[in-house]
Structure 1
Amino acid sequence: MISTSDVEQAAERIRGRVRRTPVFAEDGVWFKLEQLQHTGSFKARGAFNRIIAAGSLPAAGVVAASGGNAGLAIAYAAREFGVAARVYVPVTAPAVKVAKLRELGAAVELVGEKYADAHDAAVKHAANSGALFCHPYDQPEICAGQGTIGLELLEQTGGDVDTILVAVGGGGLLAGIAAAVEGRARVVGVEPRTAPTLNAALAAGEPVRVEVSGVAADSLGASLLGDIAYAVATRTDAGSVLVDDAAILDARAALWDRYRLAVETGGATAFAALLGGAYRPAPGERVAVLLCGANTDPATLTSPTAAPPAARTPR
């Protein structure tokens, strides 16, 4: 479990280590551009908070399991502190992310078809070597670090936000932001219909394993919602909506066509709920969309089914 005070402490720890990413209002919506963060995703925030909060680091350095973005963040933060990083990734991880991991100096191990396989290997390495294990989404320091986005968003918008749409994989991002803005805004988790960890957990009354597939599985491919995310989601009454793969691809293409914003499929998932109608704001509701990642092949940004730009006036 984490609280607003945990997120505030994380913000102090990582100040000067991460970028304060921009916010802009367009078509009546706030967009938080976290895809411009170090290593191309929000994950750098949690990585720095986890490593700094640990204090002195073991000689074996740090280890993580990741479909890509969390590993990139851990590798980047480790390099900043001059310590070794080992990252276990499933063989399905995008080549662009694996190449970047190696460029950042991490030792990369390809293990299994799914994230769970890479996770088990990373945990085993941590136990055998003494390396600091950095979970991609279910550690208090990781979640609190991600939550600093919520504090920034409230500051940048003057608190002029009622609802924040956030993509969900394992739930660390949702947990952090929901804790950060508790009592000031509501968070709604958006997931691919083919990877519904939050939706399934809320329906079952506890985190349950789900089958994972689809266009965003490389970044939203956790098969089980984190315990921290479940606890924070239920405490803060976080919402949950599901979107189809086609809606995600349309949203990604629309972000490029309308605003020249390049994001990965996971990064477009929150916007897909708004663009495709899975989430329909009430009259006067002030909505923010978090664009959370940009590690993608630019050649794939457009989609033949992308919706045309809407003719709406920004608030």
Structure 2
Amino acid sequence: MPIHLHTPLVESDPFSHPGQRVWLKLEALQPSGSFKLRGVGHACEVHAARGARRLLSSSGGNAGLAVAYAGRRLGLPVLVVVPESTREWPKSLMRRQGAEVVVHGKSWMEANEHLTALRQPMDAFIHPFDDPLLWEGHASMIAEAATQGPRPDAVVLSVGGGGLMCGVLQGMHAVGWQDVPLVAVETLGAHSLNAAVDAGQLVTLEAITSVATSLGARRVCERAFEWTKQHEVIATTVTDDEAVRACLDIADEHRIVVEPACGAAVAAAVQRRVPALQGASNVLVILCGGVATTYGDLQALAAARQEEAI
């Protein structure tokens, strides 16, 4: 039995219109709350089979929680080092799974350096997005979707470091969707893929200024950028306001709470500003999930954005 769940593909009446049906792949229903469990679970299983005695993560968000959950399922101890900026809620969720959580440094980079110093010979480090084992695991969601609904005319997903994008494209090519365009969505202020596509080379953002912190990779992984030259990838952006509003709509219409990082993909799909979406009869949206933001947080974010606009 794999560590991840097979998730439903649902037709979203609220997000569709008469000429277009929107289908949501509900990765938010994974036990750890996000798609991360697919790739992380697969990587953890592989490392366990190779003899790993402990699993390590330096993610203060969904990847760290996925490692914690996978470690509990595999009976392996887990160490997660998170930066000081990590909120109490995700840390408590990791501890609930039995992980040891260490807080160190002001940034992910400092946390990761500290984790590296603590690494022992029999430890396995699980990268949050840049690892072929992760992409292989993430690809399974497309293998499922291909048996659950119609062949899409476009696929929409959010991009942070690029791990989900790499896995989904790998899965699309495996099921014969090579000609289906991929709409890759980021929020302004966390748009490292968009910047790379515009520049024609990898770009490191000076800082992450978006509230969608799960998209906060200042530089997208190299494989994700390579995919833009091998497949029709349409990089686009939405604002923080649009992403948060989409999250509230998802909660109201589908009773599922997700992070702004996930709301970004739904916002782009519903707005249909991208030409590839305007003529599409069936659109597949990866509802990637995320647990670092509660419904109360979303309401507070929306209220704060309104006050700033006044």
Q: Which moved more, 1:131-140 or 1:271-280?
A: 271-280
1:56 Cα shift? 2.9
Query: Residue 85 of structure 1 aligns with which residue?
Result: 78
1:106 aligns with 2:99: yes
1:259 Cα shift? 2.5
Change (3 A) 1:99 1:187: same
Query: Residue 308 of structure 2 aligns with which residue?
Result: none
1:198 aligns with 2:198: no
Aligned partner of residue 164 in structure 1, secondary structure:
strand
Q: Distance in 1 between matches of 2:281 and 2:8?
A: 21
Q: Distance in 1 between matches of 2:185 and 2:245?
A: 15
8 A Cα contact 1:115 1:221, kept in partner: no
8 A Cα contact 1:139 1:228, kept in partner: no
Change (3 A) 1:203 1:123: farther
Q: Distance in 1 between matches of 2:65 and 2:9?
A: 23
1:242 Cα shift? 0.7
Change (3 A) 1:259 1:139: same
Q: Distance in 1 between matches of 2:105 and 2:296?
A: 27
8 A Cα contact 1:147 1:176, kept in partner: yes
8 A Cα contact 1:250 1:305, kept in partner: no
**Can you list the C-alpha shifts for 1:145-173, whole angstroms capped at 9, x where unaligned?**
11211221122114x21211111110000
Letter in 2 for 1:51: C
Query: Residue 170 of structure 1 aligns with which residue?
Result: 161
Q: Distance in 2 between matches of 1:156 and 1:237?
A: 23
8 A Cα contact 2:257 2:294, kept in partner: no
Change (3 A) 1:233 1:53: farther
1:258 Cα shift? 2.3
1:130 Cα shift? 4.1
Q: Distance in 2 between matches of 1:118 and 1:278?
A: 38
Query: Residue 209 of structure 2 aligns with which residue?
Result: 213
1:129 Cα shift? 4.7
1:136 aligns with 2:128: yes
From 134, 148, 153, the equivalent of 2:140 is 148
1:179 Cα shift? 1.2
Q: Distance in 2 between matches of 1:91 and 1:234?
A: 37
Number of residue pairs the alignment of both structures matches: 288
Q: Distance in 2 between matches of 1:67 and 1:209?
A: 21
| Runs of at least 4 residues off by over 6 Å | none
Q: Distance in 1 between matches of 2:72 and 2:255?
A: 31
1:276 Cα shift? 3.9
Change (3 A) 1:123 1:228: farther
From 249, 259, 262, the equivalent of 1:254 is 249
1:113 Cα shift? 2.8
From 33, 51, 66, the equivalent of 1:57 is 51
From 228, 233, 249, the equivalent of 1:233 is 228
8 A Cα contact 2:58 2:64, kept in partner: yes
Query: Residue 18 of structure 1 aligns with which residue?
Result: 4
Q: Distance in 1 between matches of 2:113 and 2:192?
A: 19
Unaligned runs of 5+ in 2: 306-310
Q: Distance in 1 between matches of 2:280 and 2:128?
A: 36
Change (3 A) 1:157 1:276: same
Q: Distance in 2 between matches of 1:215 and 1:140?
A: 28
Q: Distance in 2 between matches of 1:272 and 1:117?
A: 33
1:205 Cα shift? 2.7
Letter in 2 for 1:204: A
Identity among equivalent pairs (%): 31
Q: Distance in 2 between matches of 1:168 and 1:124?
A: 29
From 267, 270, 273, the equivalent of 1:275 is 270
Unaligned runs of 5+ in 1: 1-14, 307-315
1:289 Cα shift? 1.2
How does the TM-score come out when normalised to structure 2? 0.86
Letter in 2 for 1:188: V
8 A Cα contact 1:67 1:221, kept in partner: no
**Can you list the C-alpha shifts for 1:109-161, whole angstroms capped at 9, x where unaligned?**
222333222233333333x5541111000010011111211221122114x21
How does the TM-score come out when normalised to structure 1? 0.85
